[in-house]
Amino acid sequence: MFRPKRLYTFMLQTFIPVFVMTFFICLFIVLMQFLWRYIDDLVGKGLEINVIGELFFYAALTMVPMALPLAILLASLMTFGNLGEKFELTAMKASGVSLLKTMRPLIILILLIAGGAFFFQNNILPVAQVKMWTLLHSMKQKSPEMEIPEKAFYDQIPGISIYVDEKDKETGILRELMIYDMSGGTENTRIIVADSGKISLTPDKTRLLLNIYQGEQFENLRSTTAGVQSNNLPYRRETFAQKDIIISFDANFNRMDESAMRKQYVGKNIAELHATIDSVQARVDSVGNIYAAEIKEKPYFSLQYYKALNTPDGTLRVPQNEIRLDSPLDIDSLFHNNSGLDEATIINQALYKARSFRMDYEYKSKLMEEDRKQIRRHGIELQKKFTLSFACIIFFFIGAPLGAIIRKGGIGLPLVVSVILFIIYYIIDNTGYKMAKDGHAGVVEGMWLSSAVLLPLGIFFTYKAVHDSGVFNIDAYKAFWTKIRGKHKRSLEPKEFTLDEVTPEGAFSVIEAFDSDLRSLRDSYRRMSLPHRLYARLFGTKQSAECMRSMNALIDYLANSRSHQVVTILNRYPYKIKPGDFSSLAENNDNLRQWFMTEAGKEKTGIE
């Protein structure tokens, strides 16, 4: 019977609760962003709570691709940060368990999550997006609730503006009413002024009933005098004690048909996206070939592209072969021999034809641009099916090693680091999306830009964490840069106590060994050709490697010296030997040799 290792069970029990918590937190945050964006389309519509809940449910499913990578990054940072802060990772490494072995169960879990994300993107997300956008458009088209304010014009009724001076909240009576009815056009505006009134909806909520009392109505009669041109237009004034007006006002919530949204790119899976791209691309290629044939077959200088051949089967049109002229065509002579036409007329006719051709094909190009845009949008949606899964894997290999390096748990520093990294990812991903959408970059290049940028970062952090390297150690980067530049900025200091005493005999031995290798390297470099010298400076040679080993052996041995003068000379040695350092290295060797000869002489004479 298979039983998982206790370490693997421990890692899963540590990671999964944190991941679930961070996922729902991230999903709540992005859902609030959705709410703030569309709050104006939801408020004041009188929508039922179950309709709003349904919208939020589908919106939450739609926001999963944004919340999932951030949750994986934050959860992996917190998990390994907590393990590092409590020295549990140190205990695992001391027991012989490497970081990659510690990450193994979580790597398998993340791969399963990435596979589930791909299934979600391909099968569930299109359905959720169709229902969410259909529901949202239906809410946008719903008429607002009748909530008429005081001392302000209410214009949410199509073609009607209502002004109320005072409103009785208990009885619903509106006082000092002024109604502007512009449903027949601004020239046929009807104005009603009333002392009081009441507004209500019909039982089916498809009409608005206005009961108004003690008022007057002013109406322009332009419609009754149609066809009569007159500056004096009659109007009608009506005084009433009570008047009932019915206005079309549909306050019901009507769902749109989902079939139109299913045909959009947001409602298709991989197979449907491929089918649409192939069909539209075939149409673009076909139309493009037709346009290209039209341009190719257009006659120039009255020379037809086809020529007629009489055959027993009839007349055939075949393309003409290359037409060769006996002498070069003299354009100036044709221009001046214009058969009595004005030269300006000829130029204007030529410009008109050229401009008409250009406008014609620019228009045709714009017609084809819509198809190209449709191909790009479908291609972008197709690539999104894969980028989410890959982003989950990349963010885990960024968060887990980074948490093991910084060794800070909780939700403070990991949250800050996660937000910064996710903002960088979001900016790069949006930049690539915009470039792919506008056609400034290929669809594949634009949609995979963020993954291509963050993948080296994940590899770098994983390598550093596995090898226990200090990512945030500034001194290590300075030393590495100094080593690459070859500058001699050593910081050796004299030692007060040492196990290995430096003797003149040992010093002479390492100095002579380095001197010998240095002379061999110098002589070899002088015999090299110019390309060989460039290669040696970039990649080094076997002799340069031996010379470096001799120099490092000299420095390692003499670094145990208690003399300030010896250590000062050693600090002048570079990290990397270059041809320009030959003379300075020989001078350093001579200074060391002279100092140890003096020390040896003192020992013989007994002088302290």
Q: What is the pLDDT of residues 287-335, one digit of tens each?
A: 888 877 777 777 666 666 667 667 776 666 666 666 666 777 666 666 6
Q: What is the pLDDT of residue 597?
A: 86
Kindly report the CA angle at 509 between 508 and 513, in degrees rounded to 5?
115
- Measured between alpha carbons, how far is 220 from 486 in angstroms, rounded to an integer? 93
- Quote the distance between the C-alpha of residue 500 and its chain's center: 59
User: Given CA atoms 27, 33, 37, 39 in this order, what sign does their dihedral have?
Assistant: positive
Q: What is the pLDDT of residues 435-487, one digit of tens each?
A: 888 888 888 888 899 889 889 888 888 888 887 766 555 555 565 565 555 55
pLDDT grade for 605, boundaries at 50, 70 and 90: low
Q: What is the pLDDT of residue 608?
A: 45
- Measured between alpha carbons, how far is 423 from 421 in angstroms, rounded to an integer? 5
pLDDT grade for 108, boundaries at 50, 70 and 90: very high
454, 398 contact by CB (below 8 A): yes
- CA nearest neighbour of 28 among 81, 1, 67: 67
Q: What is the pLDDT of residue 607?
A: 46
306, 297 contact by CB (below 8 A): yes
State the DSSP code for 171. Answer: T
Half-sphere exposure of 337 (CA within 13 A, CB side): 5
pLDDT grade for 361, boundaries at 50, 70 and 90: confident
Q: What is the pLDDT of residue 165?
A: 85
Q: What is the pLDDT of residue 226?
A: 47
- Measured between alpha carbons, how far is 4 from 585 in angstroms, rounded to an integer? 60
518, 586 contact by CB (below 8 A): yes
Mean pLDDT of the chain: 79
pLDDT grade for 114, boundaries at 50, 70 and 90: very high
Question: Is pTM beyond 0.85 here?
Answer: no
Q: What is the pLDDT of residue 110?
A: 92
299, 407 contact by CB (below 8 A): no
Q: What is the pLDDT of residue 478?
A: 61
Q: What is the pLDDT of residues 179-201, one digit of tens each?
A: 888 776 666 778 888 888 887 77
* Pairing status of strand 190-201 against strand 207-220: antiparallel
State the DSSP code for 145. Answer: P
Kindly report the CA angle at 512 between 510 and 515, in degrees rounded to 5?
110
Q: 3-state SS string over 485-529? A: HCCCCCCCCCCCCCCCCCCHHHHHHHHHHHHHHHHHHHHHHHHCC
Angstrom CA distances, 316 to 201, 238, 298, 320, 592, stand at: 76, 82, 18, 12, 99
Q: 3-state SS string over 342-368? A: CHHHHHHHHHHHHHHHHHHHHHHHHHH
State the DSSP code for 412. Answer: S
